[in-house]
């Protein structure tokens, strides 16, 4: 049996179905936890209600998903963006993209871990209980999430399904209640979508924040080798995750905006979702809601950890570090390495408040994720041209323009320190990958000869050959 046939058979026999495949990317975007803070963040940045920015982010995400889902329909690997970059580009570009993508998921997991610790103390405050040192809380949550990942994909995705449903239910309960009671009667529904007086640059900066919120919609590809009919299920999971997450963020922006007397009051609120829960249901209800968000946030940490683990495992088994991994699953060593890095990216900022530890690492990770998306999308312009897909070329060009502008508007004009330092830190991390590849010719050749690449490139060449126009027979 050929390698490609073996991989397809493995994918077909996988234990992850459609619902679990959606749970992974939806948990990475974490709408039930992200909506507790991000609507206020977007208002503070843009000066207007966040719904328009999130709608723009949803449209931009659709362009990116079109590109990535098109690749996922033909190529199936746990390497995700790392693998896609190598199929339509070169091995060096694949390894550089994989490095950036790995850093992204390590950063997301570490930042959300800090945010989880912050929310635990918010819950304790609602319950009139003394606070606990946030690094200690982060350590406990980290251990739980690492155990979930260690149990394997079927267990972790099942866990994610349960807790994300719980978090989304709590979000919908508060939202429907606010809308049914008419909110605060200070802002009308039309104003929640108003663009009056909004500067275009600010609006697109809000779109960049929104796109970062939806980020991770491709994460289901990280489990594609254990997914039923991955070439159908994974592309569908990308679209479903984007639409569900995007709809929930827009819905949250609308009811949270209506729930406050003014945009200024919303921008100043550190956790508007919890504030509305307390106002409409009381302190103990706010405690329960915060606790539910903490539990839902564990699915985000575990899903982001899974993304990092699968990316590192894919590069390692291809021979990047000399010895190829031959085990069929993910070795505990790979989980341990990623787990240690994630914990460091959380409690390594112990001298700062937990919310700042979250903001610093999350902002840096969002820039890296946008960069990895941009790399694959730009490569796909040539890929679609080789397939003679005019629509694909147009969408890839549009997606490249949107991502490029999103990245630019995130760093210029420069935000206030220390956020202004983050692009330089990210650039230095990318430079580390570039320098390594400049002197790692042997490792690059070893990865290039991996059976995973050989099988996928055979399929790639077949698709290109099939797209070539045939000469008419006389």
- Give tens-digit pLDDT for 69-84: 999 999 988 899 999 9
Binning pLDDT at 50, 70 and 90, where does residue 474 land?
very low
Report the pLDDT value the prediction gives residue 272, as an integer from 0 to 100: 85
Integer Cα distance of 22 and 218 in angstroms: 10
Residue 368 in any domain: the answer is yes
Report the pLDDT value the prediction gives residue 375, as an integer from 0 to 100: 95
Is it the case that residue 4 has pLDDT exceeding 70? no
Residue 474 in any domain: the answer is no
Report the pLDDT value the prediction gives residue 326, as an integer from 0 to 100: 60
Place of tokens 């490249």: 400
Q: Name the DSSP letter for residue 190.
A: G
List C-alpha distances in Å: 124 to 10, 133, 137, 322, 337: 46, 12, 12, 48, 32
pLDDT tens digits along 263-285? 788 878 777 888 888 888 888 88
Binning pLDDT at 50, 70 and 90, where does residue 185 land?
low
What predicted TM-score, i.e. pTM, was given to this entire model?
0.89
Q: Rg (Cα) of the chain, in Å, rounded?
A: 22
pLDDT tens digits along 121-176? 999 999 999 999 999 999 999 999 999 999 988 899 899 888 888 888 888 888 88
CATH number at residue 10: 1.20.1740.10
Binning pLDDT at 50, 70 and 90, where does residue 12 land?
very low
pLDDT tens digits along 89-119? 999 999 999 999 999 999 999 999 999 999 9
Report the pLDDT value the prediction gives residue 389, as an integer from 0 to 100: 94
Binning pLDDT at 50, 70 and 90, where does residue 5 land?
very low
CA dihedral (148, 151, 156, 159) in degrees, to 10, reads -70
pLDDT tens digits along 388-404? 999 999 999 999 998 99
Binning pLDDT at 50, 70 and 90, where does residue 8 land?
very low
pLDDT tens digits along 305-329? 999 999 999 999 888 887 666 656 7
Binning pLDDT at 50, 70 and 90, where does residue 9 land?
very low
pLDDT tens digits along 416-436? 778 788 889 999 999 999 999
Rounded to an integer, the average pLDDT of 218-236 is 90
Residue 473 in any domain: the answer is no
Residue 470 in any domain: the answer is no
Residue 471 in any domain: the answer is no
How many domains are there within the chain? 1
Rounded to an integer, the average pLDDT of 20-38 is 85
Is it the case that residue 85 has pLDDT exceeding 60? yes
Average of per-residue pLDDT values in the chain: 86
Report the pLDDT value the prediction gives residue 179, as an integer from 0 to 100: 83
Range of the domain at 48: 3-463
Burial pattern 380-419, b for ≥16 Cβ within 10 A else e, equals bbebbeebebeebbebbbbbbebbebbbebbbeeebeeee
Residue 459 in any domain: the answer is yes
Report the pLDDT value the prediction gives residue 3, as an integer from 0 to 100: 39
Considering only residues 30 and 379, tell me which one the structure prediction assigns the higher pLDDT.
Answer: 379
Residue 468 in any domain: the answer is no
Integer Cα distance of 165 and 160 in angstroms: 8
SS3 227: strand
Report the pLDDT value the prediction gives residue 200, as an integer from 0 to 100: 62
Report the pLDDT value the prediction gives residue 167, as an integer from 0 to 100: 86
Rounded to an integer, the average pLDDT of 197-213 is 71
List C-alpha distances in Å: 128 to 122, 148, 290, 301, 454: 10, 30, 14, 27, 60
Report the pLDDT value the prediction gives residue 362, as an integer from 0 to 100: 87
Is it the case that residue 37 has pLDDT exceeding 70? yes
Integer Cα distance of 101 and 244 in angstroms: 23
Binning pLDDT at 50, 70 and 90, where does residue 6 land?
very low
SS3 16: strand
Integer Cα distance of 319 and 302 in angstroms: 26
Residue 49 in any domain: the answer is yes
């Amino acid at each position: 049996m050929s390698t490609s046939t073996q991989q397809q058979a493995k994918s077909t026999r996988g234990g992850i179905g459609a619902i679990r495949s959606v749970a992974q990317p939806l948990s990475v975007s974490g709408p039930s936890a992200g909506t507790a803070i991000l609507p206020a963040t977007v208002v503070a940045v843009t000066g207007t209600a966040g719904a328009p920015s999130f709608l723009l982010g949803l449209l931009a995400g659709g362009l990116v998903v079109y590109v990535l889902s098109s690749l996922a329909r033909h190529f199936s690997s746990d390497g995700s963006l790392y693998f896609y970059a190598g199929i339509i580009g070169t091995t060096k570009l694949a390894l550089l993209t994989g490095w950036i993508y790995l850093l992204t998921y390590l950063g997301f997991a570490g930042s959300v871990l800090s945010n989880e610790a912050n929310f635990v103390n918010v819950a304790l405050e609602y319950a009139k209980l003394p606070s606990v040192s946030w690094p200690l809380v982060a350590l406990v949550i980290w251990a739980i999430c690492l155990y979930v990942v260690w149990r394997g994909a079927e267990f972790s995705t099942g866990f994610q399904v349960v807790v994300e449903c719980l978090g989304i239910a709590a979000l919908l309960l508060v939202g429907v209640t606010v809308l049914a009671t008419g909110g605060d009667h200070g802002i009308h529904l039309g104003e929640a979508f108003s663009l009056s007086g909004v500067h275009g640059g600010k609006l697109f900066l809000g779109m960049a924040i929104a796109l970062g919120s939806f980020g991770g919609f491709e994460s289901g590809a990280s489990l594609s080798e254990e997914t039923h009919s991955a070439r159908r299920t994974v592309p569908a999971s990308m679209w479903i995750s984007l639409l569900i997450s995007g709809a929930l963020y827009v819905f949250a922006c609308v009811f949270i905006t209506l729930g406050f007397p003014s945009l200024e009051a919303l921008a100043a609120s550190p956790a508007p979702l919890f504030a509305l829960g307390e106002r409409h249901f009381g302190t103990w209800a706010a405690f329960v809601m915060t606790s539910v968000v903490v539990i839902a946030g564990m699915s985000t940490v575990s899903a982001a950890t899974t993304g990092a683990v699968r990316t590192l495992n894919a590069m390692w088994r291809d021979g990047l570090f000399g010895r190829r991994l031959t085990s069929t699953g993910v070795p505990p060593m790979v989980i341990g390495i990623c787990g240690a890095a994630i914990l460091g990216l959380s409690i390594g900022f112990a001298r700062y408040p937990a919310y700042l530890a979250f903001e610093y690492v999350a902002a840096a990770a969002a820039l890296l994720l946008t960069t990895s998306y941009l790399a694959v999308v730009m490569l796909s312009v040539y890929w679609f041209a080789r397939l003679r897909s005019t629509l694909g070329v147009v969408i890839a060009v549009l997606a490249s323009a949107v991502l490029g502008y999103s990245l630019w508007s995130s760093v210029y004009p420069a935000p206030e320190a220390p956020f202004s330092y983050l692009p330089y830190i990210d650039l230095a991390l990318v430079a580390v990958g570039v320098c390594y590849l400049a002197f790692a010719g042997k490792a690059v050749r070893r990865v290039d000869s991996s059976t995973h690449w050989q099988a996928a490139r055979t399929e790639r060449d077949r698709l290109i050959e099939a797209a070539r126009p045939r000469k008419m027979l006389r």
